[in-house]
């Protein structure tokens, strides 16, 4: 059988250029603790067959597998090929050669909190899908939350709890007493404070590992590039109006950044995920932006306080899955939730061939 190999310097070069290249470390847990290639996913050879489909659902994914010397990775390569993965290489002479050449490595324990990290994140690191490598990924991840209101509140708190390294908060508003029945990151003592500052204080109280970047401004087409351009891995759309949702969609799609969408109305919520360059976007789902005033906001139509708790938490779930590379994202699927009947429905949707954002991207691509 043909053996497809890549050398350590070649891999180092490709990692800079090819953002979607996935590096899979098939060594044992104890070896990984000594250091690994930055950003690598840990799937030990013994559990590779069982876990790889969840971790990497797309068989077209470009994968480089490595072990210590190259023997186990050669076996992993053959296994992945048998499982239908078509673009797999394995690292010649393994991690030993990578390290000998002085190429960058990372120690997969969250850097900022070393000792207590193992305690703080113990319950989620116990999950094979997370482990120490996943926790490292979370600690290096950057998530931008547009809106720190009903949806952004629970999303930010859970992402902070999970140990996401950097949270960006965008919101121009100050805390109002009428927010507090649902915007659980804010407290009565914070009324009249900027929401981004109130949220930052609460996040830091929850988890001092998390760095917080604040943007006390309304997200719009004028500041979109500046805010989005700060190298975010995932965006949580928790905004409260259509112009912002469409503006965010367009700029995130251009940058290829996934958006976890949530929206709420009275007793009903929606969740879906737009994967940047792959799959449909918000304009594919709702091509025609409603005329101003046609569809009312929470302020006009009311909202059950717990509703954004459900929806924002699902958005955070999607963000964590994307960062960890596990499960199936809600791409091309709109999840609807009706609190009154307590029914969830999933409705499929595809890319709009006439989409003003996607269609252009396909041509450019």
Q: With respect to other proteins, which residue has the nearer C-beta, 120 or 261? A: 261
201 binds other proteins (CB under 8 A): no
Q: Assess contact for 36 and 96: CB atoms under 8 A.
A: no
Q: How many residues bind other proteins (CB under 8 A)?
A: 45
Stretch that binds other proteins, among 91-99, 202-210, 261-269, 321-329 (CB under 8 A): 261-269
The backbone torsions φ and ψ at residue 90, rounded to the nearest 5 degrees and listed phi first, read -125, 150
Please count the other Cβ atoms lying within 10 Å of the Cβ belonging to residue 158. 18
Q: How far is the CB of 248 from other proteins (least distance, A)?
A: 11
318 binds other proteins (CB under 8 A): no
CB burial readout 210-234, b (16+ within 10 A) else e: bebbbbeebbeeeebeebbeeebbb
Distance CA(262)–CA(317), nearest Å, equals: 12
Residue with tokens 């797309």: 58
Q: With respect to other proteins, which residue has the nearer C-beta, 40 or 303? A: 303
Please count the other Cβ atoms lying within 10 Å of the Cβ belonging to residue 336. 14
Distance CA(275)–CA(328), nearest Å, equals: 12
Which one, of 306, 327, 320, 337, lies nearest residue 158 by Cα?
320
* Interface characters, 269-288, with other proteins (x: CB under 8 A): xx--------------xx-x
Q: With respect to other proteins, which residue has the nearer C-beta, 115 or 290? A: 290
Which of 94, 238, 258, 279 contacts other proteins by CB under 8 A?
238
Stretch that binds other proteins, among 212-220, 222-230, 231-239, 248-256 (CB under 8 A): 231-239
174 DSSP 8-state letter: B
* Interface characters, 336-365, with other proteins (x: CB under 8 A): x-x-xx---xxxxxx---------------
**Positions in the binding site for other proteins (CB under 8 A):** 147, 149-152, 237-242, 245, 262-266, 268-270, 285-286, 288-291, 294-298, 301, 303, 308, 334, 336, 338, 340-341, 345-350
């Amino acid at each position: 059988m043909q053996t497809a190999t890549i050398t350590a310097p070649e891999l180092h070069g490709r990692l800079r250029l090819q953002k979607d290249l996935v590096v899979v470390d098939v060594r044992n847990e104890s070896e990984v603790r000594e250091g690994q290639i930055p950003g690598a996913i840990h799937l030990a050879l013994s559990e590779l067959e069982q876990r790889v489909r969840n971790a990497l659902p797309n068989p077209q994914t470009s994968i480089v597998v490595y072990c210590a010397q190259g023997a186990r990775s050669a076996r992993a390569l053959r296994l992945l090929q048998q499982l239908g993965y078509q673009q797999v290489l394995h690292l010649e002479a393994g991690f030993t050669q990578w390290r000998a050449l002085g190429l960058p490595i990372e120690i997969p324990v969250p850097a900022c909190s070393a000792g207590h990290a193992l305690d703080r994140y113990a319950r989620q690191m116990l999950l094979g899908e997370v482990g120490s490598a996943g926790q490292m990924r979370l600690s290096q991840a950057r998530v931008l939350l547009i809106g720190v209101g009903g949806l952004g509140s629970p999303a930010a708190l859970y992402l902070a709890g999970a140990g996401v390294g950097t949270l960006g908060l965008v919101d121009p508003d100050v805390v109002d007493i009428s927010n507090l029945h649902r915007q659980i990151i804010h407290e009565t003592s914070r009324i009249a404070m900027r929401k981004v500052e109130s949220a930052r204080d609460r996040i830091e109280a929850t988890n001092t590992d998390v760095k917080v970047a604040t943007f006390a401004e309304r997200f719009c087409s004028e500041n979109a590039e500046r805010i989005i351009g700060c190298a975010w891995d995932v965006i949580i759309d928790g905004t409260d109006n259509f112009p912002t949702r469409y503006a965010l969609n367009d700029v995130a799609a251009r940058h290829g950044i996934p958006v976890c969408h949530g929206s709420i109305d009275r007793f009903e919520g929606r969740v879906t995920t737009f994967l940047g360059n792959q799959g449909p976007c918000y304009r594919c789902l709702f091509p025609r932006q409603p005329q101003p005033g046609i569809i009312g906001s929470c302020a006009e139509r009311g909202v059950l306080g717990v509703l954004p708790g459900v929806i924002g938490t699902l958005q955070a779930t999607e963000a964590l899955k994307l960062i960890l590379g596990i499960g199936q994202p809600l791409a091309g699927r709109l999840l609807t939730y009706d609190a009154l009947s307590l029914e969830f429905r999933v409705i499929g949707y595809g890319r709009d061939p006439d989409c003003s954002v996607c269609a252009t991207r396909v041509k450019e691509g």
